[in-house]
Amino acid sequence: MLDRYWFGEVNRISPEAPVPVVRVQRREERLGGASNVALNVAALGVTTSLLGVIGEDEAGDAIEAMLKKSGITSYLSRDREISTIIKLRVIGRQQQLIRIDFEERPTAHVLSDKLNRYNALLTTCDVVVLSDYAKGGLVNVAAMISGATAAGKLILVDPKGSDFSRYRGASLLTPNKSELRQIVGEWDSEAELTEKAQAMRTDLGLQGLLLTRSEEGMTLYTEAAVTHVPTMAREVFDVSGAGDTVIATMAVMMAQGMSMEQSVVIANRAAGIVVGKLGTATVSQQELFPAQ
């Protein structure tokens, strides 16, 4: 995805409708979606490659250029029949006023080619991160997890939708509260939440389930323990992309041999830093480990 930001001043209400008029003064483009996850991984000094689908268009060119600048190896497939996904955010006086999405689902033949490339690339990586945004790029996610499992890889998944069974066998799943609630239903207590989360983790054959809970921090459920870490955000400026930072940081720490319990403490710290920034953002090694 390509994240576009239009920044401007708001000094009046439109005479045509009761909406603010934004006089655009500055424009920015940033990597979004799975490319933001890759950018977060690369920002922590890890060799990173990205597999996905973009259109044969100017927005796709922009993504490729930013990936190259960030040192991320691109294995993006071009689909001539669709346009690259764009999220356009209009911001006035540091407040997001509207988001406009442009998106189309990839075609079947491009997705088939992408799966073949994915299987060929598995031997080149240590950790696989699958970021599902329900845009059609991960229709083969069950086969992707099966292939990575057979190759002995760590598999982290940021899930989406009402069917988590397709993520069966992953090492770690990182849903937020609303995503988990859609699967297991409501809970009235922490004990009931733990029971439901652990039941789902066991049913799906996951090593870990990491629940991101906004202002409540994060809770990691494993067979051995339940680990809760409170939020470290001093000031929340923008939560967009925070989940990308969490899964990226978990992937990097686990790739370096840390346990899930150790990794979640650092991922929580990273999330606390990134929500203090505007828009999709990353955390550097210096920010995460200032004493080093």
Give DSSP secondary structure letters for 101-127.
EE--PPPHHHHHHHHHHHHHHGGG-SE
Interval 86-94 mean pLDDT: 92
Phi-psi region of 94 (alpha: psi -120 to 50; beta: other; left: phi over 0): left
In a domain, 86, yes or no: yes
Tally of domains within the chain: 1
Among 3, 79, 238, 244, the one annotated catalytic: 244
Interval 93-99 mean pLDDT: 89
Q: How confident is the model over 197-210, as pLDDT tens digits?
A: 999 999 999 999 99
In a domain, 291, yes or no: no
Tell me: pLDDT of 37 over 80: yes
C-beta atoms surrounding 202 within 10 Å: 12
In a domain, 243, yes or no: yes
In a domain, 13, yes or no: no
**Average pLDDT across the chain, whole number:** 92
pLDDT at res. 12: 94
| Cα–Cα distance measured from residue 174 to residue 152, given in angstroms and rounded to the nearest whole number | 20
| Cα–Cα distance measured from residue 129 to residue 167, given in angstroms and rounded to the nearest whole number | 12
C-beta atoms surrounding 11 within 10 Å: 11
Q: How confident is the model at residue 53 (pLDDT cuts 50, 70, 90)?
A: very high
pLDDT at res. 201: 98
| Half-sphere CA count of 195, side-chain side, radius 13 A | 8
In a domain, 233, yes or no: yes
Q: How confident is the model over 140-175, as pLDDT tens digits?
A: 999 999 999 999 999 999 999 999 999 999 999 999
Reduced to 3 states (helix: H, G, I; strand: E, B; else coil), residue 161 is coil
- The answer to whether 22 and 97 have CB atoms below 8 angstroms apart is yes
Q: The domain containing residue 159 runs over which residues?
A: 2-8+21-284
Q: What percent of the chain has pLDDT over 70?
A: 95
- The answer to whether 30 and 3 have CB atoms below 8 angstroms apart is yes
Report how far Cα 257 is from the mean position of its chain's Cα atoms.
22
pLDDT at res. 235: 57
Q: Which residue has the tokens 């899964």?
A: 247
CATH of the domain at 25: 3.40.1190.20
In a domain, 290, yes or no: no
Q: How confident is the model at residue 282 (pLDDT cuts 50, 70, 90)?
A: confident
Give DSSP secondary structure letters for 192-257.
HHHHHHHHHHHHHT-SEEEEE-GGG-EEEEESS-EEEE----SS-S--TTHHHHHHHHHHHHHHTT
Question: Token digits for 16?
Answer: 């045509």
pLDDT at res. 161: 92
In a domain, 199, yes or no: yes
In a domain, 228, yes or no: yes
Strand (E) or helix (H) holding 41: helix 34-43
**Residue 203 annotated to the active site:** no
